[in-house]
């Protein structure tokens, strides 16, 4: 059997796909929570909806940034050996 090779572009593409999915889910969750809070507690004001959506997008952005930076900054074998010494 041939060993399957994973290209860096494919890995980055998968991470972007996960990020976009995460943005949609977290933004939708923030929108839903904000709408619920607005309807139940804040006399139908719009700021809880905007705040909840912003929190969702911000959380997704932080997750994506961490995920992509970790894949770009993975230590190589040589640098890992230098750190051990």
Q: What is the largest CA-CA distance in the chain?
A: 64
Domain definitions of the chain by residue range: 19-69
Tell me what pLDDT residue 80 has. Answer: 55
SS (H, E, C) the chain: CCCCCCCHHHHHHHHHHHHHHHHHHHHHHHHHHHHHHHHHCCCCCCHHHHHHHHHHHHHHHHHHHHHHHHHHCCCCHHHHHHHHC
Q: Please list the pLDDT of the chain residue by residue as tens digits (85 residues).
A: 556 777 778 888 888 899 999 999 999 999 999 999 999 998 888 899 999 999 999 999 999 999 888 877 766 555 555 556 5
Tell me what pLDDT residue 4 has. Answer: 74
Tell me what pLDDT residue 83 has. Answer: 59
**Cα 19 from Cα 14, distance rounded (Å):** 9
Tell me what pLDDT residue 75 has. Answer: 61
């Amino acid at each position: 059997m041939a060993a399957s090779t994973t290209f860096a572009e494919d890995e980055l593409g998968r991470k972007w796909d996960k990020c976009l999915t995460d943005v949609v889910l977290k933004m939708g969750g923030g929108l839903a929570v904000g709408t619920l809070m607005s309807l139940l507690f804040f006399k139908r004001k719009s700021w809880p909806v905007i705040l909840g959506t912003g929190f969702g997008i911000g959380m997704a952005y932080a997750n994506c940034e961490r995920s992509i930076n970790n894949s770009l900054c993975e230590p190589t074998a040589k640098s890992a050996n230098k750190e051990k010494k």
